């Protein structure tokens, strides 16, 4: 669709959970469809780590005219997350106090900070209730967090391949990614391309957790004559370079993985089980059978502690990336949930 993002400017200090302060905050966002007279048709879409606010583009097939959620019936909002390079305040933004880009001086952020930014945009748009909160992967972190903070805001939640807390397994993946970034001596330089080699290596590590053995066997296999220049090698290198060329500096990606690690619904709220059992909003929780990053065993354990959940599993070869590719199956489940 390639619709230009809108921007909301919050011209007051924005205080962060870890103690930092942004002198002002800019939030890039997209809306699709129209807010109805009753203001009860809002769908808030939360994006994952390297996506942006143009949900119609990166979640292709999920918001078509014949989809369960579509702009003919719904007012769809998607905001670029705090710390991302696609228009919202980030290490790439200019610090109004210095007139220079923040780069590595940008303060560390958390998932809760991202939610606070969403709430400011919600108020700016005059939205009181959100009919559906929808998020996959890191987007689900934000969905969970906002719903726990404001349980009366959402009518329903749809959580795809996500979790209420970052796991030791995922923290370890992120640590490996940060090691790759830190091995690039330029990663903290005041340059928009700082740490490009580290970003490429970090993304390559991430891709191994987003996919799995079976899909690589099907798509990256070579004939027996090869002794070098393998498809899988080329594919992983391509994916790494692709992200490095999309505006992700070393420090920016490093700081976003730190934000991922911060996710824990139970921080300051009791045990995780207590928090989950206290969520009364109707939830559609979708797990992906081949997901290595958010394994199906974890999905089932979480569902066991949700009071009002429809838990469903999708068979997919694509691993964690199935939350982006299996839109036909996801749409069918959403249709049954919201009808």
Question: What mean pLDDT do residues 271-280 have?
Answer: 98
pLDDT in tens, 114-147: 999 999 999 999 999 999 999 999 999 999 999 9
pLDDT of residue 1: 52
Residue 2 has pLDDT above 80, yes or no: no
Q: Is 262 a catalytic residue?
A: no
Above pLDDT 90, what percent of the chain?
94
Q: Which of 74, 103, 263, 320 is catalytic?
A: 320
Report the alpha-carbon angle 42-315-171, nearest 5. Answer: 75
Out of 233, 260, 287, a domain closes at 260
Q: Identify whether the C-beta of residue 176 lies closer than 8 Å to the C-beta of residue 285.
A: no
Q: Which of 89, 137, 209, 255 is catalytic?
A: 137
Report the alpha-carbon angle 50-259-123, nearest 5. Answer: 80
Q: Are residues 334 and 244 in the same domain?
A: no
Residue 308: how many other CB atoms lie within 10 Å: 11
Q: Are residues 295 and 226 in the same domain?
A: no
pLDDT of residue 84: 98
What kind and span of H or E run contains 154?
A: strand 154-160
Distance CA 103, CA 189 (A): 7
Q: Which of 84, 255, 291, 316 is catalytic?
A: 291
pLDDT of residue 225: 76
Length of the chain (residues) = 339
Domain containing residue 45: CATH number = 3.40.50.1820
Q: Are residues 268 and 256 in the same domain?
A: no
Out of 210, 243, 260, a domain closes at 260
pLDDT in tens, 223-255: 777 788 889 999 999 999 999 999 899 999 999
Q: Are residues 21 and 136 in the same domain?
A: yes
The dihedral over CA atoms of 143, 144, 146, 149, expressed in degrees to the nearest 10, equals 170
Residue 86 has pLDDT above 80, yes or no: yes
Q: Are residues 310 and 246 in the same domain?
A: no
Q: Are residues 235 and 309 in the same domain?
A: no
pLDDT of residue 339: 87
Q: Are residues 152 and 237 in the same domain?
A: no
**Averaged pLDDT of the chain:** 96
Q: Identify whether the C-beta of residue 296 lies closer than 8 Å to the C-beta of residue 289.
A: yes
Distance CA 35, CA 71 (A): 10
Q: Are residues 160 and 191 in the same domain?
A: no
| Structural domain contains residue 1 | no
pLDDT in tens, 285-313: 999 999 999 999 999 999 999 999 999 99
The gap from C-alpha 128 to its chain's centroid, in whole angstroms, comes to 23
Q: Are residues 279 and 236 in the same domain?
A: no
- Does 267 carry a binding-site annotation? no
Out of 260, 289, 314, a domain closes at 260
CA distances from 271 to 151, 277, 305 (A): 18, 10, 12
Range(s) of the domain holding residue 308:
6-165+264-338
- Does 203 carry a binding-site annotation? yes
Q: Is 15 a catalytic residue?
A: no
Q: Identify whether the C-beta of residue 303 lies closer than 8 Å to the C-beta of residue 337.
A: no
Q: Is 291 a catalytic residue?
A: yes
What kind and span of H or E run contains 335?
A: helix 327-338
Show the DSSP H helices in the chain as ranges: 55-58, 111-124, 138-149, 168-182, 196-210, 213-219, 231-244, 250-261, 272-277, 296-303, 322-325, 327-338
């Amino acid at each position: 669709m390639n619709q230009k993002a809108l921007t909301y400017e919050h011209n007051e200090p924005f205080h962060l959970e870890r103690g930092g302060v942004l002198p002002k905050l800019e939030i890039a966002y997209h809306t699709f469809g129209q807010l109805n007279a009753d203001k009860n048709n809002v769908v808030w879409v939360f994006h994952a780590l390297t996506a942006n606010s143009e949900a119609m583009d990166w979640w292709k097939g999920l918001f078509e005219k014949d989809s369960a959620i579509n702009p003919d019936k719904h007012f769809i909002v998607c905001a670029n997350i705090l710390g991302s390079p696609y228009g919202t305040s980030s290490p790439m933004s200019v610090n109004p106090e210095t007139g220079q880009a923040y780069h590595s001086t940008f303060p560390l952020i958390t998932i809760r900070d991202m939610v606070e930014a969403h709430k400011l945009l919600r108020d700016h748009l005059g939205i009181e209730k959100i009919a559906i909160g929808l998020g996959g992967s890191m987007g689900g972190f934000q969905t969970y967090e906002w719903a726990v903070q404001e349980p009366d805001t959402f009518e329903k939640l749809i959580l795809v391949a996500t979790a209420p807390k970052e796991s030791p397994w995922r923290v370890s993946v992120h640590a490996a990614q940060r090691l790759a970034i830190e091995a690039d001596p330029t990663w903290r330089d005041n340059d928009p391309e700082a740490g490009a080699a580290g970003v490429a290596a970090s993304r390559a590590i991430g891709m191994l957790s987003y996919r799995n053995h079976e899909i690589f066997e099907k798509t990256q296999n070579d004939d027996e004559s090869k002794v070098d220049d393998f498809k899988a090698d080329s594919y992983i290198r391509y994916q790494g370079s692709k992200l490095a060329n999309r505006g992700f500096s070393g420090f920016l990606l490093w700081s976003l993985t730190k934000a991922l690690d911060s996710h824990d619904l139970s921080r300051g709220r009791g045990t995780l089980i207590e928090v989950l059992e206290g969520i009364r909003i109707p939830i559609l929780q979708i797990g992906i059978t081949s997901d290595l990053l958010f394994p199906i065993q974890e999905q089932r354990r979480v569902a066991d502690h949700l009071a009002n959940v429809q838990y469903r599993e999708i068979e997919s070869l694509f691993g964690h990336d199935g939350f982006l590719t299996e839109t036909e199956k996801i749409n069918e489940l959403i249709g049954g949930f919201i009808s």
